[in-house]
């Protein structure tokens, strides 16, 4: 069912995200006839641009297609300054003009894709101009990451936003929740009688999540150096993934039911105290190296990065979830830039059978693994023991491997497509709720504080193109990280 007619107002429209992700996602939705019958995008930012110039810019990232010209007619632009509520008047009149000329109802989604310093200001100016609420029409606010840079700032941001919009109008985007494979986690767990009964401390030995990137900071050094892997990837994307892996079955598949369960997971994280940080968390920074015969610069030599930077480009973490289901099961997460490959996957390591009948020398696998490949090559791999054909009883590990790409004619939508469409339809299931964001920050904050206040906690160098500091291996007492390149 199509969403109601509406206008999407993007603040930060001259930025990268708009060009690279938002407009292409909207075009994809348009091609599939999923946008509302009457729909417009109003780009807003400080630069002066005409509608035509904005459309031309959008072009750069859109594939040539017969529907392109028609789509571009839905794009409009309005320059907006952010100094006072007065500055939003032109935006308001432009909205009025568009709704009237195209006959679109005054349903608005405001998308904040600006520097975070504006997250408090824009909602205020919208409210001052009477744009944040309406008795007749919906008004929603999408907030891009980062949602705070510390626990304190995240709380403050929540308070600020709630001054102007109510929680059910606020959509905090985390593009990992838009990934098909992350959502499939719920279906894998709760629709399969073969997995559901095993998904707990009795049968699971440990859970491992790896999110590796082969790219470095790619011109984002200025931003990244004030962020680091813990803030950039772990606090948001990867903890949300943990929420899906670890939550109890929701009562229904609905925003609040699911978000309540995610919150409970976050509330059950065993806190890592500041004085325990070096035992549970390993941080690293890539150093110069040669990859495929090519010299690659170290992180500190990247543009925009401080020469003495102690910002982590790699983090590995061990932690526990103190609840009925997961008591005693270690969770391991690692993420980093300039690792050997790009892969995000979840590995469920099942416990061994009580007694190994088939000897150890020939039976290499120690336990069964279910590997959920979030990206690329989305799919699910199950590793299990099978008899090696021939004489005797030797066992070997074999793979049962499902690839999304095998589903003919099935389009796996990009994360932003799914999320934008959900917001247009008023479905917040795949958006982070304020209380959960704060709970995630509460868990991560002592780590940041320990790093900032205790210079003795090492930051290990790792040559670009390797799997991070060797010390991250020591986090896992029995066993080791799975190295996806080796399958």
Question: Would residue 403 show up in a list of annotated catalytic residues for this protein?
Answer: no
Residue (140 or 175) nearer to ligand BG6, CB: 175
Residue indicated by tokens 């806190």: 271
Residue (20 or 387) nearer to ligand BG6, CB: 20
417 touching ligand BG6, by CB under 6 A:
no
The residue of the chain with the least Cβ separation from ligand BG6 equals 232
Asked if 3 and 36 count as a contact pair (C-beta separation under 8 A), the reply is: yes
State in angstroms the smallest separation of the CB of 25 from ligand BG6.
13
Residues 109-168 that bind ligand BG6 (CB under 6 A): 145
Q: Which of 232, 345, 417, 438 binds ligand BG6 (CB under 6 A)?
A: 232
Asked if 248 and 325 count as a contact pair (C-beta separation under 8 A), the reply is: yes
13 assigned to a ligand binding site? yes
145 assigned to a ligand binding site? yes
Q: Which residues contact 409 (CB under 8 A, 6 or more apart)?
A: none
Measure the CA–CA gap between 246 and 262, rounded to whole angstroms.
8
State in angstroms the smallest separation of the CB of 344 from ligand BG6.
6
Q: How many CB atoms lie within 10 A of CB 195?
A: 15
Q: Which of 28, 144, 208, 213 binds ligand BG6 (CB under 6 A)?
A: 213
16 assigned to a ligand binding site? yes
136 assigned to a ligand binding site? no
State in angstroms the smallest separation of the CB of 66 from ligand BG6.
29
State in angstroms the smallest separation of the CB of 249 from ligand BG6.
27
Structure tokens at 75: 């794009």
Residue (80 or 414) nearer to ligand BG6, CB: 414
Asked if 274 and 446 count as a contact pair (C-beta separation under 8 A), the reply is: yes
- Give Cα 115 to chain centroid, integer Å: 18
Q: How many CB atoms lie within 10 A of CB 369?
A: 19
Structure tokens at 156: 């403050």
Residue (321 or 423) nearer to ligand BG6, CB: 423
Measure the CA–CA gap between 174 and 159, rounded to whole angstroms.
19
State in angstroms the smallest separation of the CB of 455 from ligand BG6.
25
Which H or E element spans position 208? strand 204-212
What is the C-alpha end-to-end distance of the chain, expressed in Å?
A: 41
Q: Build a one-symbol-per-residue string for 295-334: x at contacts with ligand BG6 by CB under 6 A, - elsewhere.
A: ----------------------------------------
Q: What is the CA radius of gyration of the chain?
A: 24
Residue (213 or 417) nearer to ligand BG6, CB: 213
Please, what's the b/e burial string for 154-186 (b: 16 or more CB within 10 A of its CB; e: otherwise)? Answer: bbebbeebeebbeeebbbbbbbbbbbbbbbbbb
Q: Which residues contact 426 (CB under 8 A, 6 or more apart)?
A: 3, 138, 140
337 assigned to a ligand binding site? yes
Structure tokens at 145: 């990451």
Residue (18 or 344) nearer to ligand BG6, CB: 344
Residue indicated by tokens 């008004």: 139
Task: Find the catalytic residue in 237, 355, 403, 478.
Answer: 237
State in angstroms the smallest separation of the CB of 300 from ligand BG6.
18
46 assigned to a ligand binding site? yes
19 assigned to a ligand binding site? yes
State in angstroms the smallest separation of the CB of 232 from ligand BG6.
5
179 assigned to a ligand binding site? yes
Asked if 246 and 438 count as a contact pair (C-beta separation under 8 A), the reply is: no
Residue (204 or 238) nearer to ligand BG6, CB: 238
Asked if 80 and 49 count as a contact pair (C-beta separation under 8 A), the reply is: no
Residues that bind ligand BG6 (CB under 6 A): 145, 175, 213, 232, 344
Binding residues for substrate: 175, 179, 213, 232, 337
Could you list the residues known to form a binding site for NADP(+), using ranges: 12-19, 46, 145
Residues identified as active-site: 237
Annotated binding-site residues read: 12-19, 46, 145, 175, 179, 213, 232, 337
């Amino acid at each position: 069912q199509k969403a109601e007619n509406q206008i999407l107002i993007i603040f930060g429209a001259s930025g990268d995200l708009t060009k690279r992700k938002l407009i292409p996602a909207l075009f994809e939705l348009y091609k599939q006839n999923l946008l509302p019958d009457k729909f417009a995008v109003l780009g807003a930012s400080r630069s002066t641009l005409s509608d035509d110039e904005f459309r031309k810019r959008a072009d750069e990232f859109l594939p040539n297609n017969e529907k392109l010209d028609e789509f571009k007619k839905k794009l409009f632009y309005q320059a907006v300054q952010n100094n006072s509520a007065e500055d939003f008047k032109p935006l308001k009149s432009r909205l009025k003009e568009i709704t009237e000329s195209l006959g679109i109802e005054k349903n608005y989604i405001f998308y904040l894709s600006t520097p975070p310093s504006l997250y408090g200001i824009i909602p205020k100016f919208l409210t001052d101009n009477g744009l944040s609420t309406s008795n007749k029409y919906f008004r929603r606010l999408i907030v891009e990451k980062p949602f705070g840079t510390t626990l304190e700032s995240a709380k403050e941001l929540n308070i600020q936003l709630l001054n102007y919009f109510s929680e059910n109008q606020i959509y905090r985007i985390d593009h990992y929740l838009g990934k098909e494979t992350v959502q499939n986690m719920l279906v894998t767990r709760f629709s399969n009688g073969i997995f559901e009964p095993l998904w707990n401390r009795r049968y699971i030995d440990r859970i491992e999540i790896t999110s590796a990137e082969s790219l470095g900071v790619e011109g984002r050094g200025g931003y990244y150096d004030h962020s680091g892997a813990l803030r950039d990837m772990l606090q948001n994307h990867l903890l949300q993934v943990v929420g899906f892996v670890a939550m109890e079955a929701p009562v229904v598949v609905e925003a609040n039911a699911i978000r309540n369960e995610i919150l409970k997971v976050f509330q059950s994280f065993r806190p890592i105290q500041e004085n325990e940080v070096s035992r549970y968390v390993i941080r690293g920074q890539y150093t110069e190296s040669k990859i495929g015969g090519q010299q690659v610069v170290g992180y500190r030599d990247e543009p925009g990065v401080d020469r003495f930077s102690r910002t982590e480009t790699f983090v590995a973490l061990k932690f526990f979830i103190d609840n009925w289901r997961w008591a005693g099961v270690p969770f391991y997460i690692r993420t980093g830039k300039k690792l050997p490959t790009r892969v995000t996957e979840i590995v469920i390591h099942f416990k061994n059978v009580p007694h190994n009948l088939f000897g150890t020398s020939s039976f290499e696998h120690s336990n069964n693994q279910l590997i959920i490949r979030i990206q690329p090559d989305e799919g699910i791999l199950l590793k299990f023991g099978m008899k090696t054909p021939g004489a005797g009883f030797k066992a070997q590990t074999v793979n049962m491997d499902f690839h999304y790409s095998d589903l003919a004619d099935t389009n796996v939508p990009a994360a932003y497509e799914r999320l934008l469409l959900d917001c247009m339809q008023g479905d917040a299931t795949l958006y982070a709720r304020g209380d959960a964001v704060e709970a995630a920050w509460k868990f991560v904050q002592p780590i940041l504080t320990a790093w900032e206040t205790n210079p003795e906690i090492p930051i290990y160098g790792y040559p670009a193109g390797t799997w991070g500091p060797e010390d991250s291996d020591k986090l896992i007492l029995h066993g080791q990280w799975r190295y996806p390149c080796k399958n």
